[in-house]
Amino acid sequence: MERAEKGGGRGSRCGGSWSHRGGLDRWWLWRGGRGSKAVASPNTHQTRWLWARPVPATSVPCPSAGPQRTMKVLLLTGLGALFFAYYWDDNFDPASLQGARVLLTGASAGVGEELAYHYARLGSHLVLTARTEALLQKVVGNCRKLGAPKVFYIAADMASPEAPESVVQFALDKLGGLDYLVLNHIGGVPAGTRARTPQATRWLMQVNFLSYVQLTSRALPSLTDSKGSLVVVSSLLAAKFALDSFFGSLRRELDVQDVNVAITMCVLGLRDRASAAEAVRGVTRVKAAPGPKAALAVIRGGATRAAGVFYPWRFHLLCLLRRWLPRPRAWFIRQDLNVTVAAAA
């Protein structure tokens, strides 16, 4: 008796089956979704092909399909569990901020003002700084009403290269050291200065980048002694992209030197204040992030020594795309910007 020829069909490994009936061996073959069978006659060497309906896939299971599917399910389940553990594990202890010594910049309005109020409710000792003294005095008064044990302020313009060192020295003198340095100030192009000129670029870099570096360098010895935290409130603005690189490098340097100072990078959306909304009217479709909620997210991240805080959460996706996929990142950013108006500005 001769065995049927296999022919050149696909699926012979997992989709074929042997059957014996009437003294003939039959091999079911698959060819592009159609079933066929080759029947060999016992008396001749000829093979004749007959078309038949294909055997259902469920009736002839592949031996490796079950374990592979199980491994995929287990892998996805494990990744999901890690995701929820990372984002939902909340070990924030409000009592840890009672008596903490905090230097907060940009504290006169917006998220900075809300940060000051949250720290005051939690019983922290505060030094607040901003450019406008009258606004600072109002915030200081409110912080005292909310229960802050100690509140001091110093008016300073971060556009001046001498201001960062004087601010940190003032905080050290008043508080005796620092547990938290919260860098939140931000500056736009000053009135009467055209955008994208060398003068405007230097001004922006001093306020939004160099002052951050100066404040950090001056406060780092005190933070090292207290094993404190450095909280940086950043954004997706071009002038603040440099902060990610600088503080990322600083974090690695501190790790190598075994210095126990945490660095928390906070990426927030549009600030919830009238001046910020008016400045970008017609340029962006992004809605303002609620100040109290954004401020609380920053405080939680700093107190738990988290590496990053994103509010709203979709900015985490934008930051990942910025590193991995430059072209989709540009597409996402264009969805938030009125590119025609932005280019003409």
pLDDT digit string, tens, across residues 176-223: 999 999 999 988 766 555 667 888 888 888 999 999 999 999 999 999
**Banded pLDDT at 116 (limits 50, 70, 90):** very high
| pLDDT over 90 (residue 310) | no
Please state the rounded mean pLDDT for residues 244-252. Answer: 92
pLDDT of residue 324: 54
Q: Give the end-to-end CA distance of the chain in Å, rounded to a whole number.
A: 87
User: Degrees (nearest 5) of the Cα angle 270, 273, 276?
Assistant: 55
Which residues have CB under 8 Å from 21's CB, separation 6+?
A: none
pLDDT of residue 238: 53
* Residue 240: band (very low, low, confident or very high) from pLDDT cuts 50, 70, 90: low
Those residues whose C-beta lies under 8 Å from the C-beta of residue 326, and which sit 6 or more positions away, are none
Task: Tell me whether residue 296 is exposed, middle or buried, using C-beta atoms within 10 angstroms of its C-beta: 0 to 12, 13 to 18, 19 or more.
Answer: middle
44-48, 65-69, 238-242, 248-252, range with greatest mean pLDDT:
248-252
User: Long-range contacts of range 8-14, CB-CB < 8 Å, 24 or more positions apart?
Assistant: 9/36, 13/62, 14/60, 14/61, 14/62, 14/63, 14/64, 14/65
Determine contact, residues 12/60, Cβ cutoff 8 Å. no
- Whether 26 has a pLDDT exceeding 60, the answer reads no
- 174 has pLDDT over 70: yes
Average pLDDT over residues 255-280: 73
Between CA 56 and CA 265 the distance in angstroms is 56
Nearest-angstrom CA–CA distance, 232 and 216:
10
Round to whole Å and give the CA distance between 3 and 39: 9
Determine the longest span between alpha carbons in the chain, in angstroms: 109
What is the model's pLDDT at position 267? 84
pLDDT at 36 over 60: no
Q: What's the rounded mean pLDDT across residues 325-342? A: 50
pLDDT given at position 175: 97
Q: Which segment of 17-26, 58-67, 129-138 scores lowest on mean pLDDT? A: 17-26
Which stretch, 18-32, 44-58, 294-308, has highest mean pLDDT?
294-308
On average, the pLDDT of the chain sits at 74
CA distances from 279 to 115, 276, 341 (A): 22, 5, 13
**Above 80 in pLDDT, residue 258?**
yes
Q: Is the pLDDT of residue 128 over 50?
A: yes
